[in-house]
Chain A
């Protein structure tokens, strides 16, 4: 009896592992297929621009408001700690480095996955469930070129821009709280920030992170939509998988990228 339960457990774990590897392999092949069809996404520039609008422009409100508040809270908390060491004037450095290196790409990525990634998955999943993708195939138009590739690139292009705006608004929020509200010297705030933030090392690596997160979220979003079961429940499950999968992947990739990019520079 007990050995039966054990065998069932092993089988369950084995089946889950095999399934996960199969999906990963399928996703990798899907990624190659999307890249193969990408030139046509740029030939149909209008379609890609439309997706940049849907993924990028329509995400602006949540990104900008979140960036502003994250920056303001960071300033409030930062001032309190820095004050203990009489280093309030370093607030600009603290906020700018936190935002451009980590919080900008990561939080913008998480918000982007929730706002735009889920929408892309739901849209492609519903197109599948209502036979729109089959109709396209029957009209000799490849959905990977017409539907998937423009949405993928729309996300990849939008993500670094949104992360940059998130960081910019965050720094502005910190300025409002630190300089205007608490009264830290304006020159010290900006001057210290300018001296401490290195363009290539800090901003460049931050942008690189946001590009990687853009690829991760966009790939997961289009893959889950394309692979969704064509039912209401299937689309709902796929949307959830996009948000959970993207978020976990962003956090894991952030750790790996931080180790690789900032190793040896005394982070």
Chain B
């Protein structure tokens, strides 16, 4: 059975260097309605960790906070030993050079070819000669199986191919941490498996750490080391895939078994139906 989140994270973290720590992180786009209410997480170095939750539960907000695009209203976020919210612009940009991020729909630059998209971070942050950049880009594209599509424009790619190119771009500078925002959304079953395996293989080959934000419980359980469940702005459960499968926690069961009703109610909060109908009369 999954333990309460902090305790589980502590045992999970016991023998590993921590890449990302979230301590009591609170954030709301509107101050009166916080999206995250005191989130605690520890993501050890070298692991693939999934953050799961229903749509709108604040999962993507967690990634934006880790990447420093948003600043927490309370709490602390430590990435590679640095407190993200206390970094100035230069410090934040220096940290981001060590991070990679895969956006939900790839976010490829539509005016550049596949090759130039992957070469983009290399050209911006290194002084490598053109022939070396070419070799590195082709190796990255080869790793995601799309060396043959190097000359294509993003508009010529399928959804799965676009996601793989974005993956190659995200790992172009061999980052220490790669964040994936819904990497499985909208993919066919074959692409789904391919992207999942690529995430795992690239993480192990590069020795990096991966954080996957997703609601695809089955696909992520095949490749992750650990899962956090987020609901209504809090971590409600956490555990390894084996612990999650064996869990009797009502929220985890509802999520894993895809039940329409449970701790996450089917109905949005409203007055009783009878009362509403009587009022209409």
Known: A140-B93, A141-B124. A134 touches B109 (CB 8 A): no
Contact of B99 among A138, A142, A146 (CB under 8 A): A138
* CB–CB B104/A131 < 8 A: yes
With an 8 A cutoff between CB atoms, is A22 at the interface?
A: no
Interface contacts (Cβ under 8 Å), in number, total 45
* CB–CB B107/A131 < 8 A: yes
B:105-154 near A, CB below 8 Å: 105, 107-110, 120-121, 124-125
* CB–CB A140/B104 < 8 A: no
Most buried by B among A130, A131, A136, A139: A139
A:119-140 near B, CB below 8 Å: 127, 130-132, 134-140
Known: A139-B120, A139-B124, A141-B124. A130 touches B107 (CB 8 A): yes
Chain A residues whose C-beta falls within 8 Å of the C-beta of B97 in the assembled complex? 139-140
* CB–CB B109/A132 < 8 A: yes
Known: A134-B69, A135-B101. A140 touches B96 (CB 8 A): yes
Closest chain A residue to B120 by CB distance?
A139
Chain B residues whose C-beta falls within 8 Å of the C-beta of A130 in the assembled complex? 105, 107, 110
Chain A residues whose C-beta falls within 8 Å of the C-beta of B93 in the assembled complex? 140, 142
Chain B residues whose C-beta falls within 8 Å of the C-beta of A138 in the assembled complex? 67, 69, 96, 99, 101
Chain A interface SS verdict (over half): helix
Bound together, the chains give a CA A146 to CA B124 distance in angstroms of: 10
Bound together, the chains give a CA A141 to CA B101 distance in angstroms of: 13
Bound together, the chains give a CA A131 to CA B154 distance in angstroms of: 14
Chain A residues whose C-beta falls within 8 Å of the C-beta of B121 in the assembled complex? 139, 141
* CB–CB B107/A132 < 8 A: yes
Bound together, the chains give a CA A136 to CA B109 distance in angstroms of: 9
With an 8 A cutoff between CB atoms, is B103 at the interface?
A: yes
With an 8 A cutoff between CB atoms, is B94 at the interface?
A: yes
Q: Which residues of B contact A (CB under 8 A)?
A: 67, 69, 93-94, 96-97, 99, 101, 103-105, 107-110, 120-121, 124-125
Other than the given A135-B103, A138-B101, A140-B93, 14 more pairs (CB < 8 A) read A127-B110, A132-B110, A134-B103, A134-B107, A135-B109, A138-B67, A138-B99, A139-B96, A139-B121, A139-B125, A140-B97, A140-B124, A140-B125, A142-B93
